[in-house]
Copies of this chain bind each other. A is one copy, B any other.
Amino acid sequence: MTYCVGVKLDTGLIFASDSRTHAGVDNYATFCKMTVFERPADRVLVLLSSGDLAATQAVIGVLRRRGEAEPINIWTATSMFDVANLVADAMRDIERRDGPYLDNSGIRFNASFLLGGQIGTEEMRLFRIYAEGNFIEAGRDTNFLQTGEAKYGKPILDLAVTPSATLDDATKCVLVSFDSTMLSNLSVGMPIDLLCYARDSLEVTMQRRFDTGDAYFEELKQRWIAGTRQVFHELPGLEW
C-alpha cells in the first residue's frame, strides 16, 4: 500500500508521502514516492506516486526524457492543467507498452498520482490523476486529496485542514495523519517525505524527510496523544 496526501491552503500547498513498497509482508522495501520538478522563479511541480513501483517509475522516467526532447513538456507547459495532461499521456503510453504483458500474468496496470504546484502567474493547483489518466482538481469544498490507505488518516485531516488553516498548523495535522495510518497499516511506513510550498514563491524552501525515530516526529506524536486525551477529559460528560 501507500499513503500520500496533497493539501491546498489559501497560503500554500503541502505534500507528504510514505516510502514503503511491498509485495507481501515478507518482501518490503523503501523508495521515495515524491518527485519535484523545480525551476526557481518559474515553476514548482510535485508528484506523489501510488501503485506499482515499476509503473510509477516508468511514468516519471518518461516525463524526464520528454522534458529534454519534446517541445511541449513539463518545463514548457504554461498551466498546471497542461502538466496534468502530460502526466496522463505518459501514464497511457506506459500502459499501452506494459499493459498487455501484465495482462498475461493477470496483473492490471496500476499507477496514480497526486500532482500539485504552480507555474508563473497561474494560481497554485492540486490534482489527483487516476490510473486511467483522467483527473480531478481540489477546490475549496474539498481542499485535500489522498491516495492509497486513505481512511485511517482522513478524520484527522477533516478536523483541521481547512483552506484558511495556516501552513504550520496544517503541516502538523498532515504528520499526525501519517502517524495514525502507520499505526494501523504495516504497508505504510517511514521515512515520510514532506514538502511545503508557499504560494507565489515559485521555489522549494521547505522540504524535509522524517526517518524512524525522528526527534521532532516523536515529540509531535507524544504531545498529540497527551493533548487529545486532555480534550476528551474536558469534553462535557454524558448525563444518562
Chain A residues with a Cβ under 8 A of chain B: 151-156, 158-160, 168-169, 171-173, 176, 180-181, 183-184, 205-208, 216, 219-220, 223-225, 227-240
- The answer to whether A219 touches B231, judged by C-beta atoms less than 8 angstroms apart, is no
Contacts of A224 in B (CB 8 A): 231, 235
Take A158-B183, A184-B155 as given contacts and tell me if A235 and B223 are in contact as well, using a CB distance cutoff of 8 Å: yes
Interface on chain A toward B: helix, strand, loop, or mixed SS? Answer: helix
Q: Contact partner of A231 among B216, B227, B233, CB < 8 A? A: B227
Q: Complex Cα distance A228/B154, Å?
A: 14
Q: Closest Cβ of chain B: how far from A234's Cβ, in Å?
A: 7
Contacts of A155 in B (CB 8 A): 152-153, 155-156, 180-181, 183-184
Q: Contact partner of A154 among B152, B171, B230, CB < 8 A? A: B152
Q: Complex Cα distance A184/B152, Å?
A: 11
Which residue in chain B gives the minimum CB-CB distance to A154? B184
- The answer to whether B235 touches A172, judged by C-beta atoms less than 8 angstroms apart, is yes
Which residue in chain B gives the minimum CB-CB distance to A206? B240
